[in-house]
Structure 1
Amino acid sequence: MKAHLLLILICFCLFLTAQDEKHESSALILIYDASGSMWGQIDGASKNEIASAVVTATVANLPQDQKIGLVAYGHRSKGDCKDVEFLAPTNNTDKSKISASLKAIKPLGKTPLAYSATLVIDKLKADKSKATIILLTDGIESCDGNLCEVVRKAKEAGIEFKLHIIGFGLEDGATESLLCAAKEGEGEYFDAADASSLGAMLQRATSATVDIPNGNFTVFAIKNGKPIDAYIRAFPKSRDEKEVAARTYADTAHIYLAPGEWDIEVKPLEQSDVKATTLTNV
């Protein structure tokens, strides 16, 4: 029996009004995993060493006036679930502060994801500001917190943020709670297995900010009547726009495509003999 791939693409039309006023970009806030497991090795180097170098390089390529905050957890105490600290404030524009802080980190403790997110979200609430939060972690919650619930309640309270989560070297089957939190945070979950893929995922996360409108295209892939994990790439016809990518994780992917013509490629990620499907001039 031949396998059939059905791509469902829904376009939500957005009416965009040109604005002459240039608005200041909102902050990026990185929550960095400094738990003991970051001493784990990938290609002969510790995950902390790799992540620190890749984050530093990514930050160096951000616009000069980009505000970038840094929060670390697990870097001061081995068993303290409240070991979370702002190493750079949310209004920081000094990139060297980020690189110096990362260089000084010595992984040690636990993984309080929910508490870390709570501190960042409470800061946004107190400041009445918005931000793109990027959580970089090599593991799941280890302090009995519920990250997905924290994010859900914050959104219900009207706090404005987007949460992206990058799982770095996570084991198979350890992503369910992280997928939930990213979805509730109107962001994306990204898998990274090495330095190269981590750099690519950080690039995507820092580009898909809270300042960009929510997705106006919804993509859902089905094979033989069942939802499948698929990788989505959208290629702009205009040189003024950048390629957009997302992953369905056997669910629904939301992407924002600026006005204009795009080619959209959908490729099944699960073992399959189905070739990629491409829609042109969308």
Structure 2
Amino acid sequence: MRFFRFLIILFFIALHQVSIAQTLPDGVKQPRILILLDGSSSMVQPWSKDATRFKTAGRIITSLMDSIYRLNDQVEFALRVYGHQYPVQENNCYDTKQEVMFSKNNLTQMTLRLAALHPMGVSPIAFSLKEAAEMDLTDELHNAYSIVLITDGGESCNGNICDVVKTLLDKKIDFKPYILSLVDYKPLQKEYECLGSYLTASNEPQIGTAIETIMESYRKVLTLPNIVSKPVPAALSPTPKPGLITPPKVIIAPPPPIQKDTFSSVTSQPTTTFKQEPIVAHAPTTVPLLAKEIIFPVPLFPSLRYFPVYFATPSYKKVPVPRFTPIQPEPIPVVPTAPAPVVAAPKPTPPPAPKPTPPPAPKPTPKPTKPPVVIAPPPQKPKEAPFTIETEDAQETTVEVYFTDGHGKFFSSTPQLIFSDAHSGATIQKFYRTVDASGNPDPQNIKAGTFNITTLGKSLTLMKNVTITEKKKNKVIVKVSNGSLKFVYAGNPKRAVEEYEAVITKRFDGRVPAIRQHCNVELEYTPGNYYGEINTLPVTRFNTDIDFGGETVIEVPEAGFLQLDNPNNYKRVVLYYPLGDKYLSFYTADIANNPKPEKLDLLPGVYEAHYIKTPNIPYSKETIVPFRVTSNKLTNVTLE
């Protein structure tokens, strides 16, 4: 048994020495790929009918990792995301974080982490590259690094990508970086020339082409080198050779012989005789048989008893009935009537003489008044916006108008567009801009020429001298800015709205988180329809459209002041406000044992205070006190 244990130990020692001998050649580094992902607010826009840009980026990452793992399963991946922790209104240009650290076989971890992230902020790409160079690409002596950037736009924090590449990344990257753009926007390619190779993935075929391009570029670098097996050194002591074991001879004594029984003599016993008795036959006898007892069945029910039935008919006797004689009515006495008195007809009186009526006083003629002077607001001048034109061959002359922020982010607003002649100013054509499910504008037929294009609405943007080429698809790409939202007091715009805070939500898009905005701050929003709530008392709710380049103003009424006096120490009072044909409660105050009166700031309007004088008595009736609140004035309500 010890010999076999010794053989097993020698086997494992030899296996360990062989594994040590199979090492990578000198100079070969561990390949590592850092994926830098765009988590800005534009990534929630649709990439296709069924997926957003951020979801498509996650699918590209998992497909790329799976393809590279088939080539070399020892590659380590990491994930850094920017613009996903703070909303775009905060404009946080330091929003970047490593979400998945470098490790092998972390495809499942990468998938789960991508599913938990939500884009919402801005695009600090230059700062993210700087953080990646200083925090992620730290051990270039033992690792070979590369970067794959997946985005839909450019830098939005005024960072310089090329400076970061020259000062930090060039020394740390061993094989070619790639930039995958989810939108087909050619100006982005120039912005990323200094970082690496630019690939477009705006449709399904381009995704497959981009992954194949990256794989072919990385194939030579990621292919596993041949393993060189080094000879295993000989053991210090010779290993015994296995052989046949001859056991020693053992001499066994033969068993003793079996002893046989011996008899000295045999004695015979005398024989014994037996007498046989004769067989005696007995005479036949008679056996008496008993008669079988007959058992009669007993009825289950007792015998019925019969009772006599008698039928009797009553006898009727004739009874004499007295005869009825009707009573004769007495004659009605006749009362003698006296003759009616004759009344003489009244003599007619002559009508009074009419009094003379004075002539009507003349109506005073009003003095002519001057009409009030209405000062019309100055006409708003449209803002001139820069634009570019791209053309494609087509059978008809069409135009498509795109609105972008200049960093690859496009807006799906639908304003009315007016095409006027650039020389005469006459209106040639007007239509509302419509978009498809992916946010691309629908083409509109138009004749060739040079036009001035004006967008109506809050934005009021002007594009001068736009040339439309015949038999071409003309794409007019207009660079615009986001819209803004601010709050002012109605009738007092100079006073800052410092008392309140609003929660703003973009409607019809659950992927965009709600934004908290202080009402004394003006914030930018991407164009769209928004719903908001202001924490006034009662709550102010509103719905508004925000256009690009325009300013949306929400007016808030100035509040009044309410003082609740409680001399009888009632426990609770509930305030109601009118909504349609009924009142709804919006505030409950516990005022028991409070020596000071309750003071509140309420919006101007009509309200009701409900309270119960005897809360300990069941079904006690509420006492209702109506009151009105006026802006900047105090209203006293006493709970009597």
What pairs with 1:223-234 in structure 2 (closer than 5 Å)?
Answer: none
CA contact (8 A) 2:145 2:172 kept: no
Structure 2 residue 35 is matched with structure 1 residue 35: no
Pick aligned residue for 1:175 from 177, 181, 189: 189
Query: CA–CA distance in 1 between the matches of 2:25 and 2:204?
Result: 38
SS of equivalent residue, structure 1 residue 32? strand
More deviation in 39-48 or 140-149? 39-48
Structure 2 residue 68 is matched with structure 1 residue 62: yes
SS of equivalent residue, structure 2 residue 188? coil
Q: CA deviation at 1:119?
A: 1.3
Pick aligned residue for 2:172 from 125, 147, 159: 159
Query: CA–CA distance in 2 between the matches of 1:125 and 1:100?
Result: 23
SS of equivalent residue, structure 2 residue 102? coil
Query: CA–CA distance in 1 between the matches of 2:168 and 2:122?
Result: 23
Q: CA deviation at 1:104?
A: 1.4
Query: CA–CA distance in 1 between the matches of 2:156 and 2:219?
Result: 28
- The alpha-carbon distance between structure 1 residues 75 and 83, as it changes in their structure 2 partners (threshold 3 A), is same
Question: Which residue in 2 is equivalent to 1:53?
Answer: 59
Deviations 1:32-79 (A, max 9, x none): 111111112222121112121222222223323220011111111123
Query: CA–CA distance in 2 between the matches of 1:160 and 1:53?
Result: 25
Structure 2 residue 25 is matched with structure 1 residue 21: yes
Deviations 1:9-35 (A, max 9, x none): xxxxxxxxxxx8384541011001111
Q: CA deviation at 1:126?
A: 3.1
Pick aligned residue for 2:127 from 112, 115, 140: 115
CA contact (8 A) 2:165 2:194 kept: no
* Aligned amino acid, residue 120 of structure 1: A
- The alpha-carbon distance between structure 1 residues 152 and 210, as it changes in their structure 2 partners (threshold 3 A), is farther
CA contact (8 A) 1:30 1:69 kept: yes
Query: CA–CA distance in 1 between the matches of 2:134 and 2:80?
Result: 13
Q: CA deviation at 1:204?
A: 2.3
Query: CA–CA distance in 2 between the matches of 1:31 and 1:37?
Result: 16
Q: CA deviation at 1:108?
A: 0.6
Query: CA–CA distance in 2 between the matches of 1:91 and 1:206?
Result: 20
CA contact (8 A) 1:36 1:74 kept: yes
What pairs with 1:1-282 in structure 2 (closer than 5 Å)?
Answer: 21=25, 23=28, 25-44=30-49, 45-63=51-69, 64-78=73-87, 79-123=91-135, 126-128=138-140, 129-154=143-168, 158-161=171-174, 162-182=176-196, 188-209=197-218, 212=221
CA contact (8 A) 2:133 2:169 kept: no
SS of equivalent residue, structure 2 residue 158? coil
- The alpha-carbon distance between structure 1 residues 100 and 211, as it changes in their structure 2 partners (threshold 3 A), is same
Query: CA–CA distance in 2 between the matches of 1:210 and 1:177?
Result: 27
- The alpha-carbon distance between structure 1 residues 77 and 155, as it changes in their structure 2 partners (threshold 3 A), is closer
Q: Which has the larger radius of gyration?
A: 2
**Structure 1 segments of 4+ aligned residues over 6 angstroms from their partners:** none
The TM-score with structure 1 as length reference comes to 0.60
- The alpha-carbon distance between structure 1 residues 125 and 28, as it changes in their structure 2 partners (threshold 3 A), is closer
CA contact (8 A) 1:72 1:87 kept: yes
- The structure richer in helix per residue is 1
SS of equivalent residue, structure 2 residue 210? helix
- The alpha-carbon distance between structure 1 residues 210 and 111, as it changes in their structure 2 partners (threshold 3 A), is farther
Q: CA deviation at 1:112?
A: 1.0
CA contact (8 A) 2:83 2:123 kept: yes
Query: CA–CA distance in 1 between the matches of 2:92 and 2:184?
Result: 22
Higher normalized contact order (CA 8 Å, seq sep 6+, divided by chain length): 1
Q: CA deviation at 1:171?
A: 2.4
Query: CA–CA distance in 2 between the matches of 1:65 and 1:159?
Result: 20
Structure 2 gaps of 5+ residues are 1-23, 223-640
* Aligned amino acid, residue 111 of structure 1: S
CA contact (8 A) 1:131 1:210 kept: no
Deviations 1:168-202 (A, max 9, x none): 114232321112322xxxxx111221233124313
Query: CA–CA distance in 2 between the matches of 1:211 and 1:73?
Result: 31
| Structure 1 vs Structure 2 CA RMSD | 2.7
The TM-score with structure 2 as length reference comes to 0.28
* Aligned amino acid, residue 66 of structure 2: A
CA contact (8 A) 1:117 1:150 kept: yes
